[in-house]
Structure 1
Amino acid sequence: MQRVVTAELDLQVAAPVDLICQVAAAQQVPVLDEQFTFTQGDRVYTPTEIIDQSGSRLHRLQAETGRLEIRYEATVDGRTPHPRTSDLEAISYLRPSRYCQSDEVFQQARRQFKGLEGHELIGAVSDFVATSTTYTPGLSHGTDSAVTTLMTGQGVCRDYAHVVIALLRAMDMPARYAACYAPGLEPMDFHAVAEAYHDGAWYVIDATRLSNRHSLVRIATGRDAADCAFLSYHGGAVSLQRMLVDAWVMPEAEDVDGSDADPLAAIERDAASDPAGDDYTELVQIA
């Protein structure tokens, strides 16, 4: 399955700043082609690429004052290999973190999901968060955590992911946060999901039910949103003037001119970018 992902960010830099951008597909993603530019008038920046332990790619530059335009586009084909998770990594994803206070939701999780393990636990937590939280763009804040979302019952994708992660960790299942591109997502934006570690593999949980998990493209992985911000800066002052994110599944070559088109392949391609094509019950890994 071939997917195209794009991101456009226009920033206004009010004072020289140390800028860190995290919008590129992760190191392990099978990228066929990629363009990534940082331009400011006639100036073209060459950022420093930093790759963290999970394969997330951070691009860092020292930006001067003025309008900075960031453009990213990549074509992804095939499935991402899944390296073995070390014991140390699994342990780190059992611990409470900034936005996923598993220690504070411990009692609730133990009462609500008592006796559940493995696939049953993943399904129960996913269903609970999906049915108890209302998707409300613009009403949550960047400082909201899993505890906040459990109290208010509202949030966006990052909030859903934080609650899932906190509850799973409280039940002794390693869980982590993943930022992704999501073909077919409505409204289109960067997307956040949770991943649960079960039987030696990471399985994706999208409690928003807004994406099809089979077509997700990984950007970053971490303990929570603090590790996966698409933009951060130190010193200076930056404002986001415009942002446009898009992602879609490419038609097969034979579908373009109509010759030798495989109706079944076309159906599978369309289903891969349609949230309705994901029943959210099977265990799925990010492709």
Structure 2
Amino acid sequence: MQRVVTAELDLELGSSVDLIFSITAAQSVPLASEVLTFRQGDREYTPTEIVDQSGSRLHRLTGEAGRLEVRYEATVDGTATSTRTSDLEAITYLRPSRYAQSDEVFAQARRQFRGLSGHDLVAAVTEFVSTSVTYTPGLSLGTDSAVTTLMTGQGVCRDYAHVVIALLRAMDVPARYAACFAPGLQPMDFHAVAEAYLDGAWYVIDATRLADRRSLVRIATGRDAADCAFLSYHGGHVGLSHLRVDAWSIPDAASADGLEAEASASSTDDHVALVQIF
């Protein structure tokens, strides 16, 4: 199955500023084509690409005052290769982090999910977060954490992911955050999910249940949203005047039957089965 992903960002830079973007498909994603441009008037910037330990690709440049237009488009063809998780990495994803304070939810997790492990634990945590948090665009803040979301009962995809991660870590399951493109997502945007480490593999959890996990395209991976921001900057003022993200799947068969089969397949993610981001 091919997937096409795009992102458009228009930034207003108040002065010279160090910009770091995380908007492209991760290093492991098989790409048939890819175009990434940074334009400011007649000038086109060439960024420095930095790949982190998880395979996230960061693009860094120094922008000057004015309007910067960022455009990205890629076609994904095939499935991503899985990489071995080291013992150190697994330990890292057991520890509390800024937005996923597993130490602060430890007592609740141990009380609520006592006796559960493996797939049963993942399914129970997914169901709990899905039914106890209401998807509310525009109401949560970028500084909200898993603890905040559990108290307010509202949030967006990043908040759902943080709660899942915090609860799983409190139950001694390594868990991490993944930023993705999500074909079929409504409302369309960059998407965030959690991943749980079971029996030597990472399995994706989308407690929002808004996207088909099998079609996700990985952008970045980290402890929580602090490691996976689509834009970070230092040394100046940056305003975001336009953001548009899109992603869609191309059926394997370019026939009406193929389209029907694709639509049927995309509607069968029960969000219970163990699924990996390919």
Instruction: Classify the TM-score, shorter chain.
Output: over 0.9
Deviation of 1:163 (Å): 0.1
TM-score (norm 1): 0.95
1:160 is paired with a residue whose SS is helix
Identity %: 73
Deviation of 1:227 (Å): 0.2
Indicate the residue corresponding to 1:232 in structure 2: 232
Q: Kindly indicate whether residue 180 of structure 2 is the aligned counterpart of residue 189 of structure 1.
A: no
Indicate the residue corresponding to 2:52 in structure 1: 52
Q: In 2, distance between residues paired with 1:84 and 1:157?
A: 27
Pairing partner for 1:281 from 267, 272, 275: 272
Q: In 2, distance between residues paired with 1:77 and 1:115?
A: 41
Q: In 2, distance between residues paired with 1:271 and 1:72?
A: 29
Deviations 1:44-92 (A, max 9, x none): 0000000000000000000000000000000001111111111110000
TM-score (norm 2): 0.98
Indicate the residue corresponding to 1:78 in structure 2: 78
Deviation of 1:200 (Å): 0.4
Q: Kindly indicate whether residue 11 of structure 2 is the aligned counterpart of residue 38 of structure 1.
A: no
Q: Kindly indicate whether residue 264 of structure 2 is the aligned counterpart of residue 266 of structure 1.
A: no
Which of structure 1's runs of 4+ aligned residues deviate more than 3 A? 265-268
Q: In 2, distance between residues paired with 1:192 and 1:267?
A: 28
1:108-187 matches, cutoff 5 A: 108-187=108-187
Deviations 1:170-207 (A, max 9, x none): 00000000000000000000000000000000000000
Indicate the residue corresponding to 1:92 in structure 2: 92
Q: In 2, distance between residues paired with 1:39 and 1:153?
A: 41
2:58 is paired with a residue whose SS is strand
Q: In 1, distance between residues paired with 2:58 and 2:261?
A: 33
Q: In 1, distance between residues paired with 2:68 and 2:43?
A: 10
Structure 1 residue runs of 5 or longer lacking an equivalent are none
Q: In 1, distance between residues paired with 2:262 and 2:235?
A: 45
Structure 1 residues 268 and 85, CA gap change in structure 2 (3 angstroms): farther
1:129 is paired with a residue whose SS is helix
Q: In 1, distance between residues paired with 2:260 and 2:192?
A: 26
